[in-house]
Structure 1
Amino acid sequence: MGLRILLLTALLCCAAGPLAQDKTIRLASLDWPPYTGKDLHEGGTATATVRKAVEREGYRLEVSFLPWEEAVEATREGRFDGYFPEYYSKEVLKDFDLSRPIGTGPLGLVEHVSAPIEWSTVENLSVHTIGVVSGYVNTAKFDQLVAAGTIKTEASATDLENILKVAQKKVPAAVVDSLVLDYLVRTAPELRGKGDQLKMNSKLLEDKKLHVVFARTPSGTEARRVINTGLAGGGQ
């Protein structure tokens, strides 16, 4: 009987996985100030929100900052419990699960002050080539029109590269979060002296909710439960 109990205990421990054993949630992120970044206070505002939710449930958060596409792929391969921050999209939900919102981000277009873009519907943007970051979700309508070839885009690896292209008039506009633009204009050496050449278009694409994305693994599922409970105010 004693041996049977020991075997059952061992099986339960294995089924629970490493997350339950060491109570550490491992997430991937990127340098995307002011939301996330290895050199930001508390790892950025989004990281601080997620860490608070995790610690409220008695867990520890471990964040690795990677290039965005690497963070997504590493989570897909099960090397992390999840990644953040991400926008909702049907494409993301094909492979991953989402947390409750961890904040919002005003997504729009950065443009050159000397050549503002006028548009009323997303379809109107088809007359321009729009800068985007490779691997980023934008809005459902915008991404649908890009996939259909209606909107022409030019991809860069980072928001900073896109903003520089707009400042240099290499593209007329680029998709960017307005808070990210504000932060980079204030802090990026590459944009020093260029801030007065840039502005956000007066019309937003969308005020987007931000989420943590979870791998469909046992530890990813448990991480989602922990974070959602913590975001809701705790399980007490």
Structure 2
Amino acid sequence: MMWHIQTSARTMMRLTAFLIANLVLFLISAVSVAAQETVIQVNAAEWPPYTKPGLKHQGVIARIIREAFLESGYRSELNFRPWKRALIEGQQGKVDAVSFSVRSPEREAIFLYSDQLFSMTRYFYHLKNKPFDWQELSDLEGKTIGIDLGFSYRPELEEMAQNGLITLLEGRHARNSLQRLLTGRIDLFAMSRDYPEYVLKTEFSPEEANQITYHPTPFEEPEFFLLFGKVNPRATEYRDAFNRGLAVLRQSGRFEQYFEESRRGDYLPDK
């Protein structure tokens, strides 16, 4: 009788362990399936070569965003909106994330920020036949400088404009500012190399593009982040998932690989 009881007890323990193990596997599988079924909605403005419909992978940053989420088991898709609308929908929780923005006190009150997505080094573009040199901000006095609408720049630049030392002229697109540079309406255009180089390559003739160059002294190097509206109860979950995937892309070398491909022109529509 005692042997029968001990055997039954061992059998029950094995059965219990088996059931617990299968329950754990089921829960892990259920969480994984739930993550895969979740499609994270990301608003993005058109800022080539980073994000733009029609480019391969919709641009280099669009590819990085999608693959970072995939590394953590989430699918995502980009919705292209005008920048202000993209930001408002993110703030209201109508979408899960917004690509991409610098830090600001106003936005930090509304959004969670990812780890640094990327940084861009900005330079001053000018005409080759109008030599330009600068080392200090005072060297910019008297200049009319083109800036892109919706971008944030060093506060000192706006202070100089407010004090009448320089003139800032906003353009809705890099194309507008580069055209103004060619026609002499502005002296300089402040922007990272990726953006105007893409526009010069795709929207200007080789003769026009060859008239424009940039000064090698960097003006600033802002950092950009993916934003997650705090109103979304899953904002922290999505932010952390993105950060994990982004780290994998960096460590594997794919992050730099994708930027190199983009700069080679591999993501242009005719490729």
| Higher gyration radius (CA) | 2
2:84 to 40, 61, 69: 69
Is residue 2:208 matched to residue 1:194? yes
User: Contact 2:145/2:168 (CA < 8 Å) preserved in 1?
Assistant: yes
Normalising by structure 2, report the TM-score: 0.70
Measure the CA separation in 1 of the matches of 2:45 and 2:61.
Answer: 11
2:238 aligned with 1:226? no
* Worse-superposed segment, 222-231 or 38-47: 222-231
Quick one: structure 1 residues 125 and 31, their matched pair in 2 at CA, closer, same or farther if it must change by over 3 Å? same
Q: Which residue of 2 aligns with 1:7?
A: none
* Partner residue, 2:114: 99
Paired with 2:201 and 2:222, the residues of 1 have a C-alpha distance of 23
Q: Of 136, 145, 155, which aligns to 1:130?
A: 145
Counting only pairs closer than 5 Å after superposition, residues 42-53 of structure 1 correspond to structure 2 as: 42-53=57-68
- 1:44 Cα offset (Å): 1.0
In structure 1, the residue corresponding to 2:248 is in which secondary structure? Answer: coil
Superposed displacement of residue 89, structure 1: 3.7
Contact 1:106 1:179 in 2 (8 A): no
Q: Secondary structure at the match of 2:195?
A: helix
2:119/2:222 contact within 8 Å kept: yes
Q: CA offset at residue 108 of structure 1?
A: 1.7
Match of 2:52 in 1: 37
Question: Retained in 2: the 8 A contact 1:116–1:201?
Answer: no
> Residues 110 and 230 of structure 2 are in contact (CA less than 8 Å); yes or no, is this contact kept in structure 1?
yes
From 111, 117, 122, the counterpart of 2:132: 117
Q: Percent identity?
A: 22
- Residue in 2 that maps onto 1:54: 69
Partner residue of 1:203 out of 192, 214, 217: 217
**2:175 is matched with which residue: 160, 163, 176?**
160
Tell me, yes or no, if structure 1 residue 182 matches structure 2 residue 209.
no
Q: Are the structure 2 counterparts of residues 94 and 159 from structure 1 closer, same or farther at C-alpha, using a change threshold of 3 Å?
A: farther
Instruction: State the TM-score, normalized to the length of structure 1.
Output: 0.79
Cα gap change, 1:41/1:57 in structure 2, threshold over 3 Å: closer, same or farther?
same
Of residues 209, 215, 222, the one that matches 2:229 is 215
Q: CA deviation at 1:194?
A: 0.9
Further displaced range: 82-91 or 106-115: 82-91
Q: What is the count of residue pairs matched by the alignment?
A: 215
Q: CA deviation at 1:142?
A: 3.2
Could you list the runs of 5+ residues in structure 2 that have no partner in the other structure? 1-33, 250-271
SS at match of 2:177: helix
Task: Give the superposition deviation at 1:64.
Answer: 0.9
Q: Secondary structure at the match of 1:154?
A: strand
Q: Is the 8 A contact 1:123 1:151 kept in 2?
A: no
Task: Indicate how the Cα distance of structure 1 residues 224 and 67 shifts in structure 2: closer, same or farther if over 3 A, else same.
Answer: same
